[in-house]
Amino acid sequence: MVETLDLGEGRKRITVRRGGYTFSVLTQGAILNRFTLDGRNAILGFDDYKAYIHAPSYMGQVVGPVANRIKGASFQMDGKEYLLDKNDKENCLHSGSRNYGDELFEIAGLSDDSVTLALISKESAGFPGNHEVMVTYLLSDDGTLTIDYQIRSDKRCPVSVTNHTYFNLNGGGDIRDHVLRLDAQEYLRVDDDLIPVSVDKVEGTDFDFRIPTRIGERRGGAYDHCFSLDLDGAIVVESSDLRLTCRTSMPAVQLYTGEFLSSEYSAYDGIPVGPFMGFCLESEYYPDFVNHPNYKGCYLEPGLTWRASTSYRLERI
């Protein structure tokens, strides 16, 4: 069953119910607003869409055209230098002011189990091309929420689109007691500005989650790092009674454990938003691939369609 609610100022919330599962998305930023099992919400978010606009955390947004950080807020492509917004010290984070997640999408399709949102993102903030963006959220009977992305551009452009939902399988509180298994033999070591400097083995480091490990067991639970996924690799996170399994067609995932989470707005039920209240699994290419020819990345050619898919399955243990 699908329902659409007018929130005012051109924004809408679309809710899909299937069995014991429910999800809702906003036309603002194609934001994933809720994902519930038997009424238990597994993500962090707001009731008021205005909170998403003002929150600095990219909460629930579809981030693009290039997620994560670009060093020096610039890159070279085909002999030309492209200058981007500096919104993370001297670097560009999540596409600066070009970010899809700050824009208003239109409803392009509805069914009993899916929502498709569309956006025309005009060329701006240094990124080349006008982009046609299509995002589909699809819910299956077994509690798998799949996000399908399609992007077209009229100019050659780097692309690495993700979703920035903060999950919390307890429905609130600190997520560092969650247990994580991440099928990755390599991660991207970063400098003090979280810019990748090398691709390193996880073995013998605080970044080895190949065996299920409590998030807070090492580093105080503070992670904001990209992991290179094994072939057919998965990310599995468990609380005391829920399990979240993430799979993606993308080669990597950014694990962010919400160390710097904050908001002047309260989350659902009036709960203040603070550090470590949610974790993100941002499927992506390698951060800053535009400045590293050996990093896994993608350049979309005019006339072609970039496609990617990421799924999150929620189930009881």
Task: Identify residue 63 by its one-letter amino acid code.
Answer: V
> Among the options 94, 164, 178, 225, which is catalytic?
164
- Beta strand spans in 62-208 (E): 62-63, 69-70, 74-77, 80-83, 92-93, 106-110, 114-121, 131-139, 144-153, 157-158, 162-163, 179-182, 184-190, 196-201
* Whether 164 is catalytic: yes
Please choose, from the candidates 205, 201, 209, 218, the residue with its C-alpha nearest in 3D space to the C-alpha of residue 238: 209
Cis, peptide link before residue 293, omega less than 30° from 0 = no
* Whether 131 is catalytic: no
| 2: its two tokens | 């699908």
Each residue of 133-159: b (16+ CB within 10 Å) or e?
Answer: bbbbbbbeeebbbbbbbbbbbeeebbb
Q: Estimate to the nearest angstrom the gap between the alpha carbon of 174 and the chain centroid.
A: 20
List, in order, residues 6 or more apart from 208 with CB less than 8 Å away.
202
> Among the options 94, 131, 178, 282, which is catalytic?
282
Task: Identify residue 229 by its one-letter amino acid code.
Answer: L
CA distances to 221, 229, 251, 290 from 297, in Å: 28, 14, 9, 7
* Residue whose entry in the numeric block shows the structure tokens 């329902």: 3
- Residues marked active site are found at 164, 282
